[in-house]
């Protein structure tokens, strides 16, 4: 597929090497197990995170504090390779690197960075990112979680929902309302009053841990606040980092679906000849490949803009909206090519399709990104 669109010449040697390492790791250590983890609705997240850490894949586009400091494009390519195995595994990496670590990196004090980032980059410590609440997802500005001063300390009360890595985390980055607006707090998860409960029975992103968090008079020291966090734009800044990874990641799911469907269509015979030899099948594959190629070109363009320090949040929205939507369409169409086999875990296609339903919703739903793009086009705010 990449050859058809001559994508590889658009990458430099370092980016190709990093991609090869991620692909080899995913093929050897993730793919053989992921269907089993998916079915069981769990994954050995700590072990996987340590392996990610050894390869420098956690917070890999951040500089210093034990982070690899590679290009944003290289980070995107790794998201692509890991999501080609499973979006849940890419979520483990994104939440750790782009949400939890980035929050500390961008808004933390020097002490907070020194305390958490090197261990998190190695995958020795895990983080989660608590923004969404039961009643506030697309509109996090309505959040009820509150931190108030109590002498020198802070007292945190409230709850968060749908928090990836929530029961695994050593530190939760929690966004709360204060008398100075919304701010981020670092909450060690062994603090009294902090509880995390795993949310079971998901039909999507099953190889990923999702949790509800509750804070009941959680007492935190004065320096638990992220000093540079100010208002909703701070968590949104983290989300923009993670969404950027999804622009590449979703195309990893799409690639795996297309490759699987092409292989299947060549070997499956219907009405005495290979499925791949029928025009209807080729039309499905050709249309899917076009969207894949366009999605990758968009991802690489956004990668170059980000590396030049020129990317805007609207452009990240365009990438997330387009690539996740098209990846889902590709996954659904590839599923039809596999017929009944397509609905099983023996093939990755339905697993990807199901995961992409979550990816369409988290990190800003497709509707929210349409509204972002709509506002950029018209100047009209249609959010409320």
Q: Which residues bind ligand FAD (CB under 6 A)?
A: 95, 129-132, 137-138, 162-164, 205, 210, 358, 361-362, 365, 367-368, 383
On whether the CB atoms of residues 153 and 221 are closer than 8 A, the answer is: yes
Please state, in angstroms and rounded to a whole number, the distance separating the CA atoms of residues 19 and 217.
45
**Do residues 211 and 197 make contact, with C-beta atoms less than 8 angstroms apart?**
yes
Does residue 195 contact residue 169 with C-beta atoms inside 8 Å? no
Find the shortest distance in angstroms from Cβ 125 to ligand FAD: 17
CA–CA distance, 2 with 23 (Å, rounded to integer): 14
Degrees, nearest 5: CA angle 27-41-363: 80
**Closer residue to ligand FAD in complex, CB, 134/181:** 134
Residues 116 and 109: their CA atoms lie apart, in Å, by: 11
DSSP state of 70: -
**Minimum distance from CB of 372 to ligand FAD (Å)?**
11
Which of 24/367 has CB closer to ligand FAD?
A: 367
Q: Cβ-closest residue to ligand FAD?
A: 137
- In the complex with ligand FAD, the residue whose CB is nearer, 290 or 368, is 368
Smaller CB separation from ligand FAD, 71 or 354: 354
Q: Which is nearer to ligand FAD, 147 or 285 (CB)?
A: 147
Decide: 244 and 302 in contact? Cβ < 8 Å: yes
In the complex, least distance from residue 213 CB atom to ligand FAD, rounded to whole angstroms: 10
Instruction: Output the smallest distance, CB 129 to ligand FAD, in A.
Output: 5
Q: Which is nearer to ligand FAD, 74 or 205 (CB)?
A: 205
Residue located via tokens 């996987």: 48
Burial of 200-228, coded b for 16+ CB within 10 Å and e otherwise, reads eebebbbbbbbbbbbbeebebeeebbbee
Q: How far is the CB of 294 from ligand FAD (least distance, A)?
A: 24
Bridge-partner residues for 188, per DSSP? 171
Residue 194's nearest CA partner among 185, 202, 203 is 185
CB of 272 to ligand FAD, least distance (A): 44
Q: Given 133, 241, 326, 363, which residue is catalytic? A: 363
363 neighbors 245 (Cβ within 8 angstroms): no
* Burial bucket for residue 352 (CB in 10 Å: 0-12, 13-18, 19+): buried
Establish whether 363 is a catalytic residue: yes
Catalytic residues: 363
């Amino acid at each position: 597929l990449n050859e058809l669109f001559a994508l590889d010449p658009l990458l430099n040697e370092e980016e190709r090497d990093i991609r090869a390492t991620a692909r080899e790791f995913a093929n050897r250590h993730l793919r053989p197990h992921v269907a089993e983890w998916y079915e069981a609705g769990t994954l050995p997240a700590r072990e996987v995170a340590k392996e990610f850490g050894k390869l420098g894949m956690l917070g890999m586009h951040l500089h210093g504090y034990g982070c690899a400091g590679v290009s944003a494009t290289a980070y995107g390519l790794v998201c692509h390779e890991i999501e080609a195995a499973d979006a849940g595994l890419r979520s483990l990496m994104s939440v750790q690197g782009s949400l939890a670590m980035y929050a500390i990196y961008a808004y933390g004090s020097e002490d907070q960075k020194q305390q958490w980032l090197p261990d998190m980059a190695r995958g020795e410590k895990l983080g989660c990112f608590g923004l969404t609440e039961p009643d506030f997802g697309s509109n996090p500005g309505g959040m009820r979680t509150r931190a108030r001063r109590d002498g020198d300390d802070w007292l945190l009360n409230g709850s968060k929902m749908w928090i990836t890595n929530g029961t695994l985390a050593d530190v939760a980055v929690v966004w709360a309302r204060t008398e100075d607006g919304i701010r981020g707090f670092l909450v060690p998860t062994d603090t009294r009053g902090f509880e995390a409960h795993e949310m079971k029975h998901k039909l999507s992103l099953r190889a990923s841990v999702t949790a509800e968090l509750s804070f009941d008079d959680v007492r935190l020291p004065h320096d638990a606040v992220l000093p540079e966090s100010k208002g909703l734009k701070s968590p949104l800044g983290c989300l923009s980092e993670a969404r950027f990874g999804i622009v590449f990641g979703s195309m990893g799911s799409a690639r795996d679906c297309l490759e699987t469907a092409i292989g299947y269509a060549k070997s499956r015979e219907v009405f005495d000849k290979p499925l791949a030899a029928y025009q209807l099948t080729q039309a499905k594959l050709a249309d899917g490949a076009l969207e894949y190629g366009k999605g990758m070109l968009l991802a690489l363009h956004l990668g170059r803009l980000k590396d030049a320090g020129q990317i805007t949040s609207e452009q990240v929205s365009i990438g997330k909206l387009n690539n996740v939507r098209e990846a889902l369409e590709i996954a659904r169409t590839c599923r039809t090519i596999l017929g009944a086999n397509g609905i099983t875990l023996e093939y990755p296609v339905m697993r990807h399709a199901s995961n992409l339903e979550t990816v369409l919703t988290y990190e800003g739903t497709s509707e929210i990104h349409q509204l972002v793009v709509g506002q950029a086009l018209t100047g009209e705010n249609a959010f409320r």
